[in-house]
Amino acid sequence: MNAPASFPHPYPLRHGQVSLVGAGPGDPDLLTLKALRRLNEADVVLYDLLVSDAVLALVNRRAEQICVGKRASRHTLPQQDINQLIVAKARQGLRVVRLKGGDPFLFGRGGEELETLAAAGIACEVIPGISAAMGAAAAAGIPLTHRDYAQGVSFVTGHRREGQSVLEWTGHTGAEETLVVYMGLGEAANIADQLQAAGRAAATPVAIIENATTAQQRVLCCELASLGACVQQHAVKPPALLIIGEVVRLQARLQATLAQALAG
């Protein structure tokens, strides 16, 4: 019998190099092995507000931790300053981890940071993370696609650049499409109105998932027409996202099965 295949030791993070790391949706057990290694190797970690305390607890104690937090309408540093801080730390010869909630390339501005590093001639890698949408859907028991309910899924953000208030919703009105809205709490009522005006049915089911994959997770379900009122009535706070579509009808039945597994 042949010996089991062996895998070469992964390349360590070098001094003066940057790693854009996806921290996932909150549960530290959902980190990739490579992400965990980078947290152990880092000299400095620049993290967002959406990175959970449980994930930050895995950063090695020698590393400097700097909050450069970003949430809708809440910024510790402007993006341009974050970009330059990453460059400055790398040029000091430090091993830099830029730790971002979810996945760096899905509404995480990882592309902008990678562009800055490329222009500065600084070596960088990207370590993907489980996105907030994937984590929230799985933890809530909502399949984003399903042969009987949804043949496609779209990811959009409810938070846009300053001066931009309208998203082209006509491309997201199909009854057989799941729509996931990031950073949409503050505009929930407006989003619901615009979707209905574009043709989405008022009775379309919606799930609001708060603190996905953590012990504080909360799932609220309503219809599109009452979305704004539901967010306000239940005082939903970020991090939270919206899942809109017929797949949400499966949540109550499938969540019970997930709960049985957690109960052992």
Asked whether 39 and 59 are in contact (CB, 8 A), the reply is yes
148 is catalytic: no
- Looking only at Cα atoms, what is the longest distance across the chain? 66
pLDDT at residue 140, as a whole number:
95
103 is catalytic: no
Catalytic residue among 29, 53, 70, 103: 70
pLDDT at residue 9, as a whole number:
53
End-to-end CA distance of the chain: 37
pLDDT at residue 176, as a whole number:
86
Give the angle 109-114-116 at the CA atoms, nearest 5°: 100
Q: Which residue has 């895995």 as its token pair?
A: 58
Separation of alpha carbons 91 and 17, rounded Å = 9
pLDDT at residue 164, as a whole number:
55
User: What is the mean predicted confidence (pLDDT) over 7-34?
Assistant: 90
The confidence band for 1, taking pLDDT boundaries of 50, 70 and 90, is very low
Give the angle 210-211-216 at the CA atoms, nearest 5°: 105
pLDDT at residue 5, as a whole number:
46
pLDDT at residue 230, as a whole number:
98
Who contacts 92 (Cβ-Cβ below 8 Å, separation ≥6)? none
Catalytic residue among 29, 43, 48, 193: 48
Separation of alpha carbons 96 and 43, rounded Å = 6
pLDDT at residue 256, as a whole number:
81
> Which two structure tokens, joined as six digits, stand for 228?
């704004």
Count of CB atoms situated within 10 Å of the CB of 14:
13
Q: pLDDT tens digits for 98-107?
A: 999 999 999 9
pLDDT at residue 19, as a whole number:
98
Q: pLDDT tens digits for 78-92?
A: 999 999 999 999 999
pLDDT at residue 203, as a whole number:
97
pTM of the model as a whole: 0.89
Asked whether 155 and 107 are in contact (CB, 8 A), the reply is yes
Separation of alpha carbons 91 and 83, rounded Å = 13
Q: pLDDT tens digits for 39-97?
A: 999 999 999 999 999 999 999 999 999 999 865 555 568 999 999 999 999 999 999 99
Q: Which residue has 């010869």 as its token pair?
A: 93
